[in-house]
Amino acid sequence: MGDPGGRFRKDAVVFCAIGEGASSSPEFHRAVFYSVFGKTPNIFGIYNCGWAIATSVDEQFPEGNPTTSFEGFKRFGLKISNFDGTDIKESIRSFEEMLDYVRSGGGPAIANIKVVRMESHSGSDDQTHYMEPGEQQRHFENDPLHKVALDLINDNVLTIKDILHMFKEIDEEVKEISAATTADVQYKNIENILGKVYSYSHKSAEERWAKLIANQGGRRIEMYRQFCERGFFDTPDLPENQPPMLMRKAINYCLFDLMMLSDDVILFGEDVADFPREIFAKGERVIKELKGKGGVFLVTRHLQRAFGADRVFNTPLDEAGILGRAVGHAFQGRIPIPEIQFIDYFSPGYQQLKDRIATCYQRSNTSFRMPMVIRTSYGGYKQGAGAMWHSEANLGSFINIPGLHVIIPSNAADAVGLLRTALVSGDPCIFCEAVALYNRRDWEGHNIMAKYPPLDWLIPFGRAEIYNKSAADMVIISYGITLPISLKAADILAEKGINARVVDLRTVKPIDWDGIEKAVKDCARVLVVAEDRFHGGVGPTIAAHIGRTLFDYLDGPVQILHALDSRVAYGIDGDEHCLPGTEKIVRQAETLMAY
């Protein structure tokens, strides 16, 4: 498709092997759809033994054939093949036909390959309980190893003696490899396991970032001049030389920088491009007459104009497909920045996120990293706009997933510093952007706008920012959009004679436990303010840690101000009832101080 970079040859063919049971999943169907839609050189081989544990293939598909649901795709270039996988000649012939077809550019191929199951699915499964004796016998009689051996003998390719000698050699080779593999086996310990969950170290991130600046940073002045001439920006000045800016503008500038510094960065999602590909392909004469889009909140505006439709493009409205596509690009050696338009929409892509993206480094025994930055908007405080389906802040759903970093900036400068770190972290990151902060200059007097930081400035994950450092009556721990609300509450409390220190976590996975420990020891009273809900949320996680490790330093119970156990209700009054607010923080802080 013309994407930049890539570690595999341009003429490579991807072979996807899957059992007929798993091919029922919607994600497999989407994979075939995307391959057909993009006419990619893929071969999907479905090994159909007739049984998914104890579920028969006839209970899964019409005619017991997992390719039937794809018949309509033949109109658009999909080749469907059915053959006996236990017959070596038929298998080679059919596979060569598929290979020639996909290499011709006609589209992908999918095959229903009839195979056998010689034993039960697992130790807890006994296929004699549900498989008729005649069906069991058919599987045994079609043992492909025996059938291939007979074909080789009958066609005078090998003798029985040759085959027996070959089997013996293979058996010895397997034993040698097994012995060598297990010779230095080290039994697992906690350090060994935890060391394979994340690859991130801030030193490595800084080194990667410095290398990008050294290789590509010198072209920024000229490129920003060109971008200004093309109307993308009002000034040719580098962003760090400009006055304080909105968070939306700072993130937009940062994305421009990331794409300038690394040709491997690509950005995609729902509505992120300025134009659909077909409009963009019509050229400057057409698109210069249109404003373009660039994201539902204009955060990605002009990126496609600047870097082209192969690096910035729209996807179908399919979160599982967006994240699955990101996995493919990461394996290709790129750094994808997929966007999930609202954190509410993660649900369809949750399996991709939890079971494939977040586990890659650990299940590959650190052989493969999965670097990507998944941008998403989150949160309420939008005066009821969107409400139930566009106001989630359920971060507990994500901090419970090992292998993910969860990042939540509260102002424009932090958004840039954290986004840069995310790009070079080497791990998958969820970058949460509060919708209500995008275009705010301040929140009740506390700046959201900030100066764009110098190019070499990164913010380490797990390092909080502390406000009112000398305050010691109590500490308010927060993050994201509730941070400026907490700062306003601290101002009101100061007028009442209560001096509150405020901790901005900036990342909630990892959490700055050291910073929290110091604050707890200094202040002795703790209020956690989180837009997340109570059950499984960020607030209870922090409270549990403090109670477990710092109980003796407390002068009162840890208090948590969290969202109502409800989706955000419609209207301005819905926001007020469902979410933490300044007055609620002040009241709960006063109650805590009176304990």
Active site residues: 390
- Residue 410 has what DSSP assignment? S
Long-range CB contacts for residues 71-79, cutoff 8 Å, separation at least 24: 73/32, 73/33, 73/36, 76/36, 76/37, 76/107, 77/36, 77/39, 77/106, 77/107, 77/108, 78/32, 78/36, 78/107, 78/108, 78/109, 78/110, 79/106, 79/107, 79/108, 79/109, 79/110
What does 313-338 look like in DSSP terms, one character per residue?
EE--S-HHHHHHHHHHHHHTT-EEEE
β-pairing, 405-407 vs 372-378, is unpaired
Is residue 551 within 8 Å of residue 458, measured between CB atoms?
no
Q: How many of the other CB atoms lie within 10 Å of CB of 394?
A: 20
**What's the rounded Cα separation, in Å, for the pair 416 and 421?**
9
Is residue 382 within 8 Å of residue 436, measured between CB atoms?
yes
**What's the rounded Cα separation, in Å, for the pair 23 and 245?**
49
**What's the rounded Cα separation, in Å, for the pair 97 and 79?**
10
Is residue 130 within 8 Å of residue 50, measured between CB atoms?
no
CA distances from 65 to 33, 82, 84, 139, 306 (A): 18, 9, 13, 18, 47
- Residue 245 has what DSSP assignment? B
β-pairing, 312-314 vs 109-114, is unpaired
Query: Residue 110: what are its φ and ψ, rounded to 5°?
Result: -135, 140
425-427-431 Cα angle (round to 5) = 80
Sequence-ordered list of residues with C-beta below 8 angstroms from that of 172, at least 6 positions apart, any chain: none
Closest CA to 588 of 514, 443, 485, 507: 485
How many alpha carbons lie under 13 Å from residue 354 in its C-beta half-sphere?
11
Alpha helices in 342-411 (DSSP H): 350-351, 360-363, 396-399
What is the Cα 17 distance to its own chain's centre? 23
DSSP H or E stretch at residue 592: helix 582-593
- Helices 412-424 and 202-216 meet at what angle, rounded to 10? 90
Quick one: tokens of 508?
Answer: 């909630």
**What's the rounded Cα separation, in Å, for the pair 269 and 112?**
32
Burial (CB < 10 A; 0-12, 13-18, 19+), residue 181, is exposed
